[in-house]
Structure 1
Amino acid sequence: MNWKRMKRAWMLCACAMFLGLSMGTCKVQAKGVDDYGALKVSGTHLVSRRTNENVVLRGVSTHGINWDVGYPYISKKAFQTLRDDYSVNAVRLAMYTTEYYGYCDKGSASESQSQVQKTLQVRIDTGVKAATDLGMYVIIDWHVLNDQNPNKYKKQAKAFFKDMSEKYAKQDNVLYEICNEPNGGTSWSDITKYAKEIIPVIRKNDPDAIIIVGTPTWSQDVDVAAEKPLDYDNVLYTLHFYSATHKDSYRAKLKKALDKGLPVIVSEFGVSPASGDGTIDTKEAKKWLDYLDENEISYFAWSLSNKAESASLLKSSTKKTSGWSKSDLSPAGKWIFSQYALRSGNVKPSNSKPAKVKSVKLTRGSKKIKVRFSKVSNATGYQVVYSTSKKYSKAKKKLIYKNTTTLTGLKKGKTYYVKVRAFYKKARMKVYGSYSATKKIKVK
């Protein structure tokens, strides 16, 4: 009998009863390793090998574990705060390869390069153990940045990932990110060359591990990678965005990659400009998270740090390294964690069912239908149901998080019937409102 799972199930039941009897809010941990076990990539999704359900990791990335703005937060207490209080089910350990105390180039650090490497490996081991003890997933991130082209330190990367994959081969919760943000003119061909040497090193020790590969232009060009993906299973391709800088045109890149069947993960995002500092843009960030959730793509917020920049999740005045209250969080941290709680089903927006969806409008296209409707207050998302039968036999369902979507891959000349209903999440259970009136339209 799995005591952790029994305990979590009891908590869910207790919370559900509590929510039904009061108007309060109950904390519920986001699902983690105890629920999903080992992961695999299937189509464009990250999937549980145990339950075969799609998995969305809502994670947090450390700042550089090389520095005092990053490594103090590598602890079981810190990760437990993220898990229990802020609905986080995964962490990313960002280890810079260059700059001060870099794994491959220590810069002006007084220690020898080998001593720097030993220290960083201890910090990774500490982080992996903490995440494992807490039933959280963890990414080991080879944080290429100023070195631009991952081939520059390929020899060191091969040795590093050999050691890491030997050490963690039997663990279900460890993912490997082999090059954070290739840049400076590094091409997809350059990255492919590098990946084809690193992936076999990991696969030799950990044949089924999830491996994350960076893409050109600071991991923004997933559309380029989609034109010629790597010939390996269980590989994810990373997209990074900062919402105050990266907007519609970057989501268009993601859509193009998904349309070509590329499995994508957002291993780093922020609500600030791309520099990491400046005015945050939560309106644009919500568009991003809505799109990611609609497509069941995992995402990790930058960064668990009190560094004096707007991307940090903690205030610069926060001295605590765990046990943070909301008053310890930065504006970015407050917004991101409130979104995680809502999207993980840990906030009860209302004690009643969502209102009925109204004003559904259909626009036909070539083998597609655009669906629009009025927003429902307090709704977490919507379920669109469509079929060529007015009785909805063999109907298809689509889960979305905004009040518009496009149904694609439809049969030319067929009449489709469409209805929509809103839902909110209550202790991880979806509470649905009534369906809208059925609308029908003939596809071109």
Structure 2
Amino acid sequence: MRFIRHICAGLALLALAACTPAEGAGSEAQAVSAPEGTPVARHGALSITDGKVVDAHGEPVTLRGMSLFWSQWGPQYYTRETVDWLVSDWKVTAIRASIAAEGDDSALQHFDREIAKAATVIEAAEANGIYVLVDWHAHRDHADEAEAFLTEIARRYGHLPNLIYEPFNEPLREGVDWSRDVKPYHERMIAAIRAHDPDNLIIVGSPSWSQDVDIAATDPLEGENIGYTLHYYAATHKQDLRDKGDAALEAGLALMITEFGIVEATGDGPIDMESSNAWWDWAEANGISWLNWSITDRDESSAALKPGTPPAGWSDEDLTESGRILRARLRAAAEAEGY
């Protein structure tokens, strides 16, 4: 499977049409290609080597992008036009679909509807040649439903080179232990994914809202292409959390920041640019990908959009202060990398 994907990446770089994935890649497998000049055309399938995320050529990769909001509460942005706009105007290289698995009206009650939202974002990301994280956005163990969801995503889309799985958004702190509770959950989810997708990245959460990466590093998961997410909110989390990240990196874990805010951990409150810049400097120095929370028009300071903003075509007046900061940061990074 990895060999086939590397061929596909090479063909995309030569602007050839496509190649067909290997037999057994899933009953709904389709031709794999990426538009010329896009992140997926440049990098192909990602993997983890020596604690670093690398591309099909063995070169380190840092993805930068945005996370969509809880899918049951921000469905208007789970659209092709939103993804198109984030790629063309914000210059994201990755997007995160936060498929809600908590609360009323979530995937726990409307499985097929939420699968369809994930599918829309995945297919839009594929068409735009960017990477897509599919996040089972839960704080508690819903293992049966999570396994069914991740199995279906892997069965349909596991052949794509741009797919990344996030099986558990933020395990809670109280009464949750990494080795006793969270690690066995991930082992079950990894097995379910690998039954259909043998090699795409799986980025796992840890207790304390995906901040106990140092504890996970003392008892890591076995298997290839497994990384760990580290979540932070800059106005709340400072150097002590980066110290936990450093400990995980020193132990050989590959990290991705699949969710962060430049505000407080509540998702609201004032923007802390001093702390945000310290976090960005740390992430960039360590080659750690990051995705900001979030694309929504909710009335809180972490939201990138003002209330009532349509799915695409946003002017500067449609953006919150957070949205304007993130758009500028993403566009500058893309320009530096030649996108």
Query: TM-score, with normalisation over the residues of structure 2?
Result: 0.87
1:223 is matched with which residue?
214
1:321 is matched with which residue?
311
Say yes or no: does 1:237 pair with 2:228: yes
2:156 is matched with which residue?
167
1:121 is matched with which residue?
115
User: Could you tell me which amino acid in structure 2 is paired with residue 199 of structure 1?
Assistant: I
1:177 is matched with which residue?
166
More strand, by proportion: 1
Distance in 2, matches of 1:80 and 1:269, equals 22
2:87 is matched with which residue?
83
1:236 counterpart SS class: strand
Flag the 1:202–1:89 CA change in 2: closer, same or farther, 3 A: same
Distance in 2, matches of 1:319 and 1:264, equals 33
Say yes or no: does 1:72 pair with 2:76: yes
Say yes or no: does 1:55 pair with 2:49: no
More helix, by proportion: 2
Say yes or no: does 1:102 pair with 2:106: yes
CA contact (8 A) 2:12 2:41 kept: no
Distance in 2, matches of 1:314 and 1:262, equals 34
1:234-255 Cα distance to aligned partner (Å, 9 max, x none): 0010100000000111111111
Taking the TM superposition and a 5 Å limit, the aligned residue runs for 1:39-438 are 39-49=46-56, 51-67=57-73, 70-104=74-108, 113=109, 116-145=110-139, 147=140, 150=141, 153-183=142-172, 184-189=174-179, 190-316=181-307, 318-344=308-334, 346=335, 425=336, 428=338
User: Could you tell me which amino acid in structure 1 is paired with residue 198 of structure 2?
Assistant: P
Per the TM alignment, residue 31 of structure 1 is displaced from its structure 2 partner at its CA by 4.9
Distance in 2, matches of 1:191 and 1:137, equals 26
Distance in 1, matches of 2:65 and 2:176, equals 27
Flag the 1:5–1:313 CA change in 2: closer, same or farther, 3 A: farther
CA contact (8 A) 1:40 1:234 kept: yes
Flag the 1:303–1:284 CA change in 2: closer, same or farther, 3 A: same
CA contact (8 A) 1:185 1:217 kept: no
Distance in 2, matches of 1:164 and 1:310, equals 32
CA contact (8 A) 2:107 2:113 kept: no
1:313-345 Cα distance to aligned partner (Å, 9 max, x none): 1122x422101122211111111221122223x
Per the TM alignment, residue 4 of structure 1 is displaced from its structure 2 partner at its CA by 7.7
Flag the 1:30–1:46 CA change in 2: closer, same or farther, 3 A: farther
The gaps in structure 1 that reach 5 residues or longer are 8-28, 105-112, 347-424, 430-444
Flag the 1:2–1:262 CA change in 2: closer, same or farther, 3 A: closer
Q: In percent, how many aligned pairs have the same letter?
A: 35
Distance in 2, matches of 1:30 and 1:218, equals 36
User: Could you tell me which amino acid in structure 1 is paired with residue 83 of structure 2?
Assistant: F
Distance in 2, matches of 1:4 and 1:230, equals 34
CA contact (8 A) 1:276 1:309 kept: yes
Distance in 1, matches of 2:330 and 2:156, equals 31
1:422 is matched with which residue?
none
Task: Kindly tell me the number of residue pairs found equivalent between the two proteins.
Answer: 309
The gaps in structure 2 that reach 5 residues or longer are 1-9, 17-35
**In terms of Rg, which structure is larger?**
1
1:272-330 Cα distance to aligned partner (Å, 9 max, x none): 100001111122111101110111001110010010000011122x4221011222111
2:45 is matched with which residue?
38
1:242-270 Cα distance to aligned partner (Å, 9 max, x none): 00000111111111111111111110000
2:135 counterpart SS class: strand
Q: Which moved more, 1:127-136 or 1:334-343?
A: 334-343
Distance in 1, matches of 2:98 and 2:14, equals 30
RMSD: 2.0
